[in-house]
């Protein structure tokens, strides 16, 4: 066997162990007994130690030096293994283990603090997470930007300065549009009580409608919805609230977007470095286009209105147009995952600025809640009423995902570009969506983007699919058109 073949066989086992680690995380968030958390933290740390040793092994370095790629796909495989190897060799093994153990423990501490509305109970743990992630970022940055070094884990090739420039270009139009919308009368909201069993049944139906393959996955409940896994084992979670079925419906569609990306990757890439989504920004482009441009469209909500009344009876709205307006209602709120399309990116900009300050050492964890509340009031015009609607609402910082948040907004930007191309290539898209048929849309996304997995760099795969260099313009034009129509601006 050649050095390339030996390396790929070794990498396959590393990827398989990574999937096992992901499954432990899924179990922890869904069905693990609460009392098992300390043992699970040790298990996660032990497995991370094995993975770090494999990824940083000198044998990998030797193989990389000797390996010759057989083709362009092989070259992409080597590129991704080299990126992983370079990262792993910069991070001490004990630090990797300590982070895995701490972030596993921190999930439960965050969840309990969130339930108790007790920020003080969480801050000491968060301070430890921030310190370890900053230490890791310093090792990776080698004198450069700590935040940019961490960002590479989620959006390779992108810098915080590039993201800040996009956000600076987006903010004025978003704020102006939101101001105009909020001056108009709000449409009528959904009303009634919506049983959990009916919500979960409709959730499963919607997952199938959007192409999720249940023979390769499942839907469970979690505090914070997420998607886990790749290839032929991709699982999602959702959540329910009796007074808000949209929470369940659109969390499900969002996570199905993530899952269908993973299920749609070329099976030849299974358990290879290319067998997963290339970046979180590209991943979010799939979840957001499924959830918003498709799932919240006038055409699809016309079909969904009938399914809602079939499932729940009277929902307090008269007709599909009223339902479409309710689905896209712009109103005051605190929760990022429940935010309308118009205000969602403002939530991300808040988190982006705060976590950059944390990693730079310009903001102390002890001052984080005050900084969050001040910034929220400045951006949204009203105060945070309780911690679970503020600092404690997201799981991300508890598990050390610093650099992840801006990819949500990048995903929206990418989705705007993709939607333009999709509508160009599928001119009768709305006719199909009005029948509850997403087949052409999801097939277009699978053919033009999902199947490539990690073959191309993030912005390259978006440009290939959409035919344009990614920019914020298409998203902003889409939002202007949609909400100007909805609110008769």
Catalytic site positions: 255
Helix axes 280-288, 458-466, angle to 10 degrees: 40
Distance CA 221, CA 290 (A): 20
- C-beta atoms surrounding 388 within 10 Å: 18
Q: How far apart are alpha carbons 301 and 323 in whole angstroms?
A: 7
CA distance 110 to 458: 32
In whole angstroms, how far apart are CA 287 and each of 250, 252, 290, 291?
10, 10, 5, 6
Q: How far apart are CA 149 and CA 133, in angstroms?
A: 11
Q: Which uninterrupted H or E stretch holds 169? A: helix 160-182
The size of the chain, in residues, is 489
* Residues near 265 by beta carbon (within 8 Å), at least 6 away in sequence: 230, 231, 274, 275, 276, 277, 450, 451, 452, 453
Give the tokens for residue 294: 């498709």
Residue 248 backbone zone (phi > 0: left; psi -120 to 50: alpha; other: beta)? alpha
Extract the tokens encoding 279: 């970046």
Rounded distance between C-alpha atoms, residue 264 and residue 111, angstroms = 32
Report d(CA 273, CA 85) in Å as an integer.
12
| Cα dihedral across residues 86, 134, 39, 153: positive or negative | negative
Inter-residue contact 110 to 124 (CB < 8 Å): no
Q: What token pair was written down for 176?
A: 């102006």
Sheet holding 233-238, edge to edge: 219-221, 233-238, 227-230
CA distance 135 to 436: 49
3-state secondary structure 322-368: HHHHHHCCCCCCCCHHHCCHHHHHHHHHHHHHHHHHHHHCCCCHHHH
SS3 call for 402: coil
């Amino acid at each position: 066997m050649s050095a390339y073949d030996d390396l790929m066989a070794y990498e396959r086992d590393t990827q398989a162990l990574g999937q096992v680690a992901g499954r432990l995380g899924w179990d922890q968030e869904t069905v693990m007994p609460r009392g098992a958390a300390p043992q699970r933290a040790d298990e996660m740390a032990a497995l991370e130690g094995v993975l770090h040793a494999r990824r940083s092994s000198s044998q990998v370095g030797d193989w990389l030096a000797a390996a010759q790629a057989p083709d362009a796909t092989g070259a992409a495989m080597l590129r991704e293994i080299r990126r992983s190897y370079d990262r792993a060799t910069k991070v001490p093994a004990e630090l990797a283990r300590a982070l895995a153990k701490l972030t596993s423990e921190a999930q439960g501490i965050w969840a309990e603090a969130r339930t108790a509305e007790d920020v003080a109970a969480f801050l000491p743990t968060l301070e430890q997470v921030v310190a370890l992630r900053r230490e890791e970022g310093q090792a990776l940055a080698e004198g450069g930007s700590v935040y940019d070094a961490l960002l590479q884990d989620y959006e390779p090739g992108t810098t915080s300065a590039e993201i800040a420039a996009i956000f600076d270009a987006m903010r004025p139009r978003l704020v102006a549009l939101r101001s105009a919308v909020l001056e108009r009368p709000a449409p009528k909201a959904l009303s009634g009580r919506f049983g959990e069993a009916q919500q979960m049944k409709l959730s499963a139906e919607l997952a199938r409608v959007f192409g999720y393959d249940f023979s390769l996955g499942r839907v469970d409940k979690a505090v914070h919805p997420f998607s886990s896994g790749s290839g032929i084992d991709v699982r999602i979670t959702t959540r329910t609230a009796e007074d808000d079925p949209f929470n369940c419906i659109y969390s499900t569609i969002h996570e199905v977007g993530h899952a269908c990306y993973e299920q749609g990757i070329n099976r030849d890439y299974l358990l290879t470095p290319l067998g997963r989504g290339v970046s979180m920004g590209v991943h979010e482009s799939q979840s957001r286009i499924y959830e918003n441009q498709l799932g919240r469209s006038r055409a699809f909500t016309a079909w969904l209105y009938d399914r809602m009344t079939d499932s729940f009876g009277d929902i307090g709205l008269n007709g599909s147009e009223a339902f479409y307006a309710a689905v896209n209602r712009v109103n005051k709120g605190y929760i990022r995952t429940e935010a309308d399309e118009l205000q969602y990116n403002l939530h991300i900009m808040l988190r982006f600025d705060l976590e950059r300050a944390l990693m730079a050492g310009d903001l102390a964890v002890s001052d984080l809640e005050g900084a969050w509340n001040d910034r929220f009031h400045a951006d949204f015009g009203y105060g945070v009423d309780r911690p679970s609607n503020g600092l404690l609402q997201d799981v991300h910082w508890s598990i050390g995902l610093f650099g992840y948040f801006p990819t949500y907004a990048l995903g929206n930007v990418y989705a705007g570009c993709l939607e333009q191309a999709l509508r160009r290539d599928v001119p009768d898209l709305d006719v199909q969506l009005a029948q509850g048929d997403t087949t052409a849309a999801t097939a277009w996304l699978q053919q033009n983007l999902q199947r490539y997995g990690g073959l191309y760099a993030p912005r390259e795969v978006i440009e290939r699919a959409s035919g344009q260099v990614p920019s914020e313009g298409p998203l902003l034009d889409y939002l202007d058109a949609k909400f100007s129509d909805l609110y008769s601006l």
